[in-house]
């Protein structure tokens, strides 16, 4: 017998969601769950050491702790590859104005919009920024997200951007969600550069990027991102920033085609970006170009939903051309305050017309590759980190089918139980199912 720290046994479905040829699941391959019925998984020193049928693993391992997952589906920890989760302030008043029919310009004039978050974030101390972000990460974790990207971009000046990055590093040390930092100094042109945006691009290229460069600092972000959109940064400004970022060793991401296509998707292909994100109004020829490249399209269906818009990413066209698709929340205080990848999966099934299996793979293994962590997280495969979610439902398809409630039962990060709903058996559906089952069996027996 081999010893293990933890054995999870009798999962009604164990969804391994393997990488495909060492990369994301592309095109028609999206949705390969590697599903094992009555599945089990062994963990040693924070890593997965075996995955297979319960009978096989039981015969092979003696575990210090065993979790009985009878009646529950087990999936990899969800990965959220696009978030603006670090911010200060509150824009609920702005939401009320928006639903009452006020325009973006009217909201800006009333002090709303992204600049209100920039003002609040600049004014907040590091401690305040950490304290305001902490509950959002706790909610993400409770909803099954074990790895998340976290962008800067509400500082828009060197010192405030550094404070945001410092907050990300503090939060990384203080709570279980694994954070992947991205430098988004090019999120918006700050008010003080309103009439001279190219001077702000100069500041980004000459001062901020070298300061944040992976080549010059220990605590640098892995990625550099630009909001390429009318009213934010032009295609040429985006090219200038990302070309410099690439020279300085950053991986590249671009906010593209959220409202108006400027050619950002094609630029992402040209520069070898890791991902192009939003990807809503992308013209068909650029969808094809992305699909035929190594660039991952990250769709954020919570954002059009949050804005009450009806246009969503052309996901099916991307998949028809063999592309790689990932899903993310875009969690941010303006357009989409949503911490739940479960809700994003439900939206993706309806608005992108993905099957639950496709949406789940896009929210795990493909999302992991979209943040450069495909080799360590995103699937339940031997050698990977033991980032595991036990759902309180017997079938993974309840993700997608159901929305607005949390279907997570237990969350495990690097082999440690970090969310344990076992404390609340009254809320467990599986208990109800078992009760019903035993009543049914009893009624059969009496019949
Ligand atoms: Zn974004």
- In angstroms, what is the span from residue 48 Cα to ligand 1's centroid? 32
The pLDDT tens digits for 304-349 are 999 999 999 999 999 999 999 999 999 999 999 999 999 999 999 9
Is the pLDDT assigned to residue 62 strictly greater than 50? yes
Residue 427: band (very low, low, confident or very high) from pLDDT cuts 50, 70, 90: low
- In angstroms, what is the span from residue 84 Cα to ligand 1's centroid? 6
- In angstroms, what is the span from residue 233 Cα to ligand 1's centroid? 14
- In angstroms, what is the span from residue 188 Cα to ligand 1's centroid? 11
- In angstroms, what is the span from residue 96 Cα to ligand 1's centroid? 21
Spatial separation of the C-alpha atoms in residues 423 and 198, rounded to whole Å: 56
pLDDT in the model for residue 429: 64
Strands 36-44 and 47-53: antiparallel
Backbone angles phi, psi at 119, to 5 degrees: -60, -45
In the numeric block, which tokens belong to residue 382?
A: 């031997």
Per DSSP, which regions of 336-403 are E strands? Answer: 388-391
Average pLDDT of span 353-371: 98
- In angstroms, what is the span from residue 429 Cα to ligand 1's centroid? 35
pLDDT in the model for residue 442: 46
Is the pLDDT assigned to residue 102 strictly greater than 50? yes
pLDDT in the model for residue 216: 73
- In angstroms, what is the span from residue 425 Cα to ligand 1's centroid? 38
- In angstroms, what is the span from residue 182 Cα to ligand 1's centroid? 11
The rounded mean pLDDT for the chain is 93
Residue in 390, 367, 363, 434 with CA at minimum distance from that of residue 9: 390
Residue in 284, 389, 277, 438 with CA at minimum distance from that of residue 11: 389
- In angstroms, what is the span from residue 109 Cα to ligand 1's centroid? 22
- In angstroms, what is the span from residue 28 Cα to ligand 1's centroid? 27
Q: Phi/psi zone of residue 177: left (φ > 0), alpha (ψ -120 to 50 degrees), beta?
A: beta
Is the pLDDT assigned to residue 422 strictly greater than 70? no
- In angstroms, what is the span from residue 128 Cα to ligand 1's centroid? 22
Spatial separation of the C-alpha atoms in residues 97 and 102, rounded to whole Å: 5
Backbone angles phi, psi at 224, to 5 degrees: -120, 135
The pLDDT tens digits for 185-221 are 999 999 999 999 999 999 999 999 999 988 776 667 7
Residue in 19, 7, 12, 83 with CA at minimum distance from that of residue 364: 19
Residue in 369, 413, 374 with CA at minimum distance from that of residue 390: 413
434: Cβ contacts below 8 Å, ≥ 6 apart: 71
- In angstroms, what is the span from residue 187 Cα to ligand 1's centroid? 8
Residue 437: band (very low, low, confident or very high) from pLDDT cuts 50, 70, 90: very low
pLDDT in the model for residue 445: 42
Instruction: Give how far Cα 447 sits from Cα of 207, 437, 440, 443, Å.
Output: 80, 15, 10, 6
The pLDDT tens digits for 130-166 are 999 999 999 999 999 999 999 999 999 999 999 999 9
- In angstroms, what is the span from residue 14 Cα to ligand 1's centroid? 32
């Amino acid at each position: 017998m081999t010893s293990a720290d933890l054995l999870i046994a009798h999962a009604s479905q164990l969804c391994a969601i393997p990488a495909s040829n060492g990369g994301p699941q592309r095109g028609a391959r999206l949705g390969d769950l590697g599903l094992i019925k009555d599945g089990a998984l062994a963990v040693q020193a924070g890593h997965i050491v075996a995955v297979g049928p319960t009978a096989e693993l039981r015969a092979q391992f003696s575990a210090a702790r065993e979790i009985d997952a009878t009646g529950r589906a087990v999936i990899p920890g969800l990965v959220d590859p696009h978030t603006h989760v670090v911010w200060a302030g509150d824009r609920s008043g702005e939401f009320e104005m928006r639903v009452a029919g006020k325009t973006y310009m009217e909201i800006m004039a009333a002090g709303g919009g992204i600049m209100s978050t920039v003002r609040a974030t600049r004014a907040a101390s590091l401690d305040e920024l950490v304290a305001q972000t902490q509950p959002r990460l706790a909610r993400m974790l409770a909803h099954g997200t074990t790895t998340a990207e976290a962008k800067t971009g509400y500082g828009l000046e060197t010192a405030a951007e550094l404070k945001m990055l410092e907050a990300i590093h503090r939060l990384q040390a203080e709570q279980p969600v694994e954070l992947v930092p991205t430098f988004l100094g090019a999120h918006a042109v700050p008010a003080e550069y309103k009439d001279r945006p190219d001077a702000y691009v100069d500041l980004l290229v000459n001062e901020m990027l070298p300061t944040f460069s992976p080549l010059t600092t220990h605590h640098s972000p892995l990625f550099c991102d630009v909001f390429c959109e009318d009213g934010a940064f032009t295609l040429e400004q985006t090219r200038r920033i990302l070309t410099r970022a690439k020279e300085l060793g950053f991986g590249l991401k671009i906010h593209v085609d959220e409202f108006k296509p400027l050619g950002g998707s094609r630029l992402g292909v040209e520069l070898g970006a890791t991902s192009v994100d939003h990807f809503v109004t992308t013209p068909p020829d650029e969808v094809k170009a992305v699909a035929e490249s190594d660039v991952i399209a990250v769709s954020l269906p919570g954002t059009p939903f949050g804005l009450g818009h009806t246009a969503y990413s052309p996901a099916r066209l991307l998949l028809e051309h063999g592309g790689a698709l990932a899903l993310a929340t875009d969690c941010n205080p303006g357009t989409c305050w949503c911490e739940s990848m479960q809700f994003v999966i439900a939206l993706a099934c309806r608005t992108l017309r993905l099957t639950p299996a496709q949406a789940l793979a896009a929210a795990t293994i493909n999302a992991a590759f979209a943040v450069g962590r495909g080799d360590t997280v995103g699937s339940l495969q031997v050698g990977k980190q033991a980032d595991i979610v036990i759902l309180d439902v017997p079938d993974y398809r309840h993700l997608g089918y159901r929305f607005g409630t949390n279907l997570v039962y237990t969350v495990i990060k690097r082999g440690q139980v970090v969310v344990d709903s076992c404390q609340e058996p009254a809320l467990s559906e599986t208990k109800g199912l078992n009760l019903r089952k035993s009543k049914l069996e009893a009624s059969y027996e009496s019949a």
